[in-house]
Structure 1
């Protein structure tokens, strides 16, 4: 390895600002020290890492490639440092649990608290990953276990079914459909659909609700933040289709109305681990306890 961590931190910082002076201020260095560090990295690699555009300093294509790798490396090192500090307090192992930003999560803090009471020497850390990156993160060791829906369970992993969560339509309490108990694809022909993603993912609303009816909503509006979707729906801007778990607090407060899709659709959620995971590993011990806890606590997707 020809570059040091100092070089990588500098590249990451340079991706966020547009001048040597700004980099120096963030890193508590002199501008001349930053310039020297850039020249040193370029000399070691034999390629220019920066370029000027409109009077501003930015990373060259080679610099951008290195900065992307630097971001991952620095994140891994920060995580390792955090885990090392935790070990000083009695933690002997870590289990990295992957969740997607739209997945069921209200029950997870309760389980972490429960497991911590049983195994104070094990620390569960949550990692948010894009839906399409779950498998790679698992196999590359960035995750130890992931909570994933049926449509994304890849082949070659160990899968444990956990629970099912209703997929429902939500709307403003004064919406014309607010009094309906069931709604159908054709009901969306005259309304906007506010959705987290327009990906036609297996097992979700397009695959099981719209496609069989050969119908699409009047307009599909992508909003990649659940809280923003809820607020838009509350304001009457459109309807959305989400898991009940994500909107249960709003439903309980009477802020939204809801209806079942057709006669009722749900999503199956699973825990997946690497096939190479030892049966007696801390990861599998935690997953086994998770399964037991869910069975005793009832379906977290309905609570």
Structure 2
């Protein structure tokens, strides 16, 4: 932007452009900004005269942004959140407050993990509030760059100049099946065993689902059906009732096994290892309460490795001979899963109380 243009491009211009884009008309934008429509129109007309180019093309009652208008809208979407956040921080400084830690979520099951960190964090930092955001206009990376959030919780970091990520929690992604499912006694599954299954996932793109990117797609396998469900509890209820299978972190499955008759199975012989990362803008890890959250998350979460193999588990089973016979049946294709009790399945996976 030229230096002389900066002398007449004001914050109100950016607010008007953003408000018109969001609310669809000059009238609605004027109401949102507590201006009269003539005042708003005059302000934009004066800006267009100074720019020497129109911001909108008027098509009846509709406004279509020009190239200049689209550029200014992008500037508005980047700068206005930063200005608002700066004003809020300065207000907090004036009042002696620490502020609000704004956390963005790019991981559906991570919400349960986050709750385990937020509770002790609020006790440790009583002067800091926490706000959690799960939907972003331009994605989690855009929210960080636009200063809409301070931290991004994600299992799939996208490294960009100006951003840093720290791994705070290791976990294993597993397949989840009903205890009555034919696969329930296996410790791990192969991609081709899911070819006739209904796979239930969160409503995100296949390119962001580990069970596809790290398990099914490399093997050239697709499930017979793919259903998307928003909430973890409904997913587990569907799996329990035999309506499909799903993929979740092992720790999350274990936490819900008292409520749902499901078991976790390793994806492939070696499992799918994942990590939860916290992303933030470079330099902001020096903010004490942000650094405090990162350190607490790392210390609070612990670690989760892929489970022991089936043969390694046999020593822990009370009835070794029965377990050996069942393994022989599974390997020969003579699965007895349908006739097994819930206690048998839980015992086989080393998950009994």
TM over 0.5: yes
Distance 1:77 1:276 in 2: 18
Q: Does the C-alpha gap of structure 1 residues 145 and 174 become closer, same or farther in structure 2, counting only changes over 3 Å?
A: closer
Identify the residue that residue 291 of structure 1 maps to in structure 2. 298
| Pick aligned residue for 2:20 from 11, 14, 19 | 14
Alignment pair present for 1:230 and 2:238 = no
Count residues with an aligned counterpart: 291
Q: CA deviation at 1:50?
A: 1.1
Counterpart mapping for 1:1-303 below 5 A? 1=6, 2-53=8-59, 55-87=61-93, 90-92=96-98, 97-102=103-108, 104-123=110-129, 125-126=131-132, 128=134, 145-149=151-155, 152=157, 154=159, 160-170=166-176, 179=184, 182-195=188-201, 196-199=204-207, 204-220=210-226, 223=228, 225-226=230-231, 230=235, 233=238, 238-244=244-250, 252-254=258-260, 257-260=262-265, 261-263=267-269, 264-271=271-278, 283-295=290-302
SS of alignment partner, residue 48 of structure 1: coil
Matched residue SS, 1:269: strand
Distance 1:289 1:20, change over 3 A: closer
Residue 206 of structure 2: SS of its match in structure 1?
coil
Contact map agreement 1:194 1:229 (CA 8 A) in 2: no
Match of 1:15, SS?
Answer: helix
**Could you tell me how far 1:100 is from its partner in structure 2?**
1.5
Shift of 1:39: 0.7
Displacement after TM superposition at 1:257 (Å): 3.7
Contact 2:78 2:146 in 1 (8 A): no
Unaligned runs of 5+ in 1: none
Contact 2:250 2:264 in 1 (8 A): no
CA distance in 2, matches of 1:118, 1:281: 12
Supply the distance in 1 between the matched residues of 2:148 and 2:28 (Cα, whole angstroms): 32
TM-score normalized by structure 1?
A: 0.71
Once structures 1 and 2 are overlaid, which stretch shifts more, 243-252 or 55-64? 243-252
Say which SS state the counterpart of residue 168 (structure 1) adopts. Answer: strand
CA distance in 2, matches of 1:122, 1:15: 34
Q: Which moved more, 1:138-147 or 1:85-94?
A: 138-147
TM-score by length of 2: 0.62
Cα distance between partner residues in 2 of 1:127 and 1:109? 13
Change in 2 beyond 3 A, CA 1:232/1:177: same
Matched residues in 2 for 1:185 and 1:243: separation? 18
**Secondary structure of the structure 2 residue equivalent to 1:66:** helix
- Preserved CA contact (<8 Å) 2:105 2:134: yes
Give the superposed CA RMSD. Answer: 4.3
- CA distance, structure 2, for counterparts of residue 54 and residue 180 of structure 1: 67
Distance 1:100 1:244 in 2: 18
> Conserved in 2, the CA contact under 8 Å of 1:18 and 1:58?
no
SS of the counterpart of 1:105?
helix
In structure 2, stretches of 5+ residues that fail to align are: 1-5, 305-353
| Cα contact 2:253–2:264 (8 A) shared by 1 | no
Deviations along 1:5-61, one digit per CA (max 9) or x if unpaired, are 221121112113343333333333322222212212212222211113464223233
Q: Could you say which structure has the larger radius of gyration?
A: 2
Q: How far is the alpha carbon of 1:67 from its aligned partner? A: 1.7
CA contact (8 A) 2:57 2:65 kept: yes
Query: SS in structure 2 opposite 1:242?
Result: strand
Q: Measure, in 2, the Cα distance between the counterparts of 1:214 and 1:259.
A: 23
Shift of 1:186: 1.4
